[in-house]
Structure 1
Amino acid sequence: MTIQIGQALPDLEIAVIDGEANIQRVSTASLFTGRNVVLFGVPGAFTPTCSERHLPGYVKHFDAFKARGVEVYCMAVNDAYVMKAWSISQHVPAGFKLLADGNGAFTKSLGLEMDGSAYGMGMRSRRFALYAENGIVKELHIESPGELRVTTAEAMLEVAPR
Structure 2
Amino acid sequence: MSDNRIAVGQSLPAVSFQRLTDNGLVTLTTEQLFAGERVVLFALPGAFTPTCSAAHLPGFISLAEQFFQAGVDRILCTAVNDAYVLDAWGQQQQAGDVQFIADGAGSFAKAIGMATDSGEFGGIRSLRYSMLLEDGVVQLLNLDLPKTFEVSKAEVLLAQIRQR
SS of the residue 2:8 aligns to? coil
Partner residue, 1:157: 158
Q: TM-score, normalised by structure 1?
A: 0.92
Which consecutive aligned stretches of 4+ in structure 1 deviate over 6 angstroms post-superposition? none
Partner residue, 1:80: 83
Residue pair 2:20, 2:84 contacting (<8 A) in 1 also: no
Paired residues for 1:1-162 under 5 Å: 1-17=4-20, 23-70=25-72, 71-93=74-96, 95-119=97-121, 121-161=122-162
Letter aligned with residue 15 of structure 1: Q
Cα distance in 2, alignment partners of residues 21 and 62 from structure 1: 25
Give per-residue Cα distances to partners, 1:102-134, cap 9 Å, x unaligned. 001011111100011142x10000001111111
CA root-mean-square deviation: 1.7
SS of the residue 1:160 aligns to? helix
Cα distance in 2, alignment partners of residues 25 and 92 from structure 1: 20
Give per-residue Cα distances to partners, 1:6-54, cap 9 Å, x unaligned. 1101111111257x79642111111111111111110000000000100
Identity %: 39
**Structure 1: runs of 5+ lacking an equivalent:** none
Q: TM-score, normalised by structure 2?
A: 0.91
1:35–1:44 CA distance, 2 compared to 1 (3 A): same
Q: CA deviation at 1:96?
A: 2.2
SS of the residue 2:94 aligns to? coil
**Structure 2: runs of 5+ lacking an equivalent:** none
